[in-house]
């Protein structure tokens, strides 16, 4: 039973990687760089995106956003108000709701993404520290948001996510004076699971 | 393809429910009440448990804890220091790590849980707002922890979790003065997806 399960999962991940490569080819053909943005629920992905998109990026870089949510389009509405092209993916079709984006969901949404008119696509994944890390979607880089309010132990408890990203944005640091969270220990734990990974300390709320 | 997938998922959930009932029978035989404790990563499940277990519960209720984590036993170590019987389940065997507990994982751990010596078993699920809600494990009640730091929109974005629980503990309210989070809106959103569900406003940090 266990071996059958492992086999099915490996086949599913192989199939996912094949579709991710097809996505990657489409992005390359249009010269679009792609970020897969991941975090736990409520860590601040959308607010950080809003902040980053509120003024034009350097060098006239044109950005598009692909929003992944189980249900609803609350984040897409927030981003669209900044006059950025947004495409919504909902993962709830079929049953209770997928807890992550996979390459095929992204592929299905690509006809609605104006690849010819953007230089950078930000894919905001479903808020979850486990499964999104297992599914490549054709991205160039993986960025995760870690809110200090989640505590310093999370890199050790959700290591795959921290291990497979190229940049960790440490958010909500304006709250540090009101928390019993040890920032040094958080940074040490991140470095333990992904030695040398880049980190950036930010506050979406205070800027 | 889609229909096949739905069929497989339905079969898996049926199988899960059958095992959940077997767990339930074992709990009933020993007169053990069971709480399935769920939340996003870092919402404060373990800290709330530590607070609740730091002094004896009323009526001499004897508590045991089942800790679900992808990797490690950090929370189990914290709980064990309170001299409460703890059993660890790690979900990372086989591949990247399951994002939830299912009935079979709990069943596999039951031989290590001293059911004859406890009255209440708290099952601390993997930190995740999506999949844990889809898998019954034999519990009597589902309790979720919602940290105000996650923002007021989470009930609308992760409705199944909020809809299937009997009690929502709203945690980290000591941070409200430092957040732009609307508590009234959070409560209204919870009531929208699960009308009449009980809520309790708490702060694990300040007591």
Task: Dig out the tokens for B105 from the structure.
Answer: 């994982």
Reported ipTM: 0.90
How far off is chain B from A141, nearest CA to CA, in Å?
Answer: 19
According to the model, what pLDDT value does residue B9 have? 73
Residue A6 pLDDT class (50, 70, 90 cuts): low
Cα angle B135, B137, B141 (rounded to 5 degrees) comes to: 100
Q: Is residue B171 over pLDDT 50?
A: yes
According to the model, what pLDDT value does residue B107 have? 97
CA–CA gap between residue B27 and residue B92 (Å, rounded):
26
Q: Is residue B2 over pLDDT 70?
A: no
Tokens 């889609």 belong to residue: B2
How far off is chain A from B94, nearest CA to CA, in Å?
Answer: 6
CA–CA gap between residue B70 and residue B183 (Å, rounded):
31
Please name the residue of chain B whose CA is at the shortest distance from the CA of residue A7.
Answer: B94
A198: how many CB neighbours lie within 10 A of its CB?
A: 11
Minimum-distance CB partner of B42 among A126, A134, A151: A151
CA–CA gap between residue B24 and residue A54 (Å, rounded):
52
The answer to whether A159 contacts B129, with C-beta atoms less than 8 Å apart, is no
Least confidently predicted of A90-99, B126-135, B182-191:
A90-99
- Mean residue pLDDT across chain A: 93
Residue A2 pLDDT class (50, 70, 90 cuts): low
- Mean residue pLDDT across chain B: 93
Q: For chain A, where are the E strands, in sequence order?
A: 33-39, 63-69, 86-90, 120-124, 141-147, 167-171, 198-201
The pLDDT tens digits for B56-78 are 777 789 999 999 999 999 999 99
CA–CA gap between residue A54 and residue B182 (Å, rounded):
23
Instruction: Determine which of A2, A3, A39, A41 to mutate to test the interface with B (most B C-beta atoms within 10 Å).
Output: A41
Minimum-distance CB partner of B150 among A2, A42, A74: A42
The 10 Å CB-count burial string (b at 16+, else e) for A78-106 is bbeeeebbbbbbbbeeeebbbbbbbbbbb
What are the φ/ψ torsions at residue A52 (nearest 5 degrees)?
-70, -30
Residue A102 pLDDT class (50, 70, 90 cuts): very high
How far off is chain A from B73, nearest CA to CA, in Å?
Answer: 9
Residue B178: its chain A contacts at CB < 8 A? 174-175, 178
Tokens 């074992």 belong to residue: B26
């Amino acid at each position: 039973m266990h071996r059958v399960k492992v086999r099915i999962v490996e086949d599913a991940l192989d199939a996912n990687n094949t579709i991710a490569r097809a996505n990657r080819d489409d992005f390359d053909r249009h010269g679009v760089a792609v970020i897969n943005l991941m975090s736990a629920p409520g860590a601040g992905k959308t607010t950080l995106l809003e902040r980053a998109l509120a003024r034009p990026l350097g060098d006239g870089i044109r950005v598009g956003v692909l929003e992944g949510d189980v249900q609803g389009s609350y984040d897409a509405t927030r981003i669209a108000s900044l006059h950025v092209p947004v495409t919504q993916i909902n993962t709830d079709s079929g049953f209770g709701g997928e807890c992550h984006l996979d390459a095929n969901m992204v592929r299905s949404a690509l006809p609605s993404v104006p690849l010819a008119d953007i230089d950078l696509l930000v894919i905001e994944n479903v808020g979850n520290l486990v499964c999104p890390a297992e599914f490549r979607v054709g991205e160039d880089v993986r960025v995760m948001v870690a809110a200090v309010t989640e505590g310093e132990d999370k890199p050790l408890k959700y290591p795959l996510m921290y291990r497979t990203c190229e940049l960790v944005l440490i958010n909500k640091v304006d709250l540090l004076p009101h928390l019993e969270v040890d920032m040094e220990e958080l940074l040490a734990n991140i470095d333990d699971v992904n030695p040398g990974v880049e980190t950036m300390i930010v506050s979406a709320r205070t800027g």
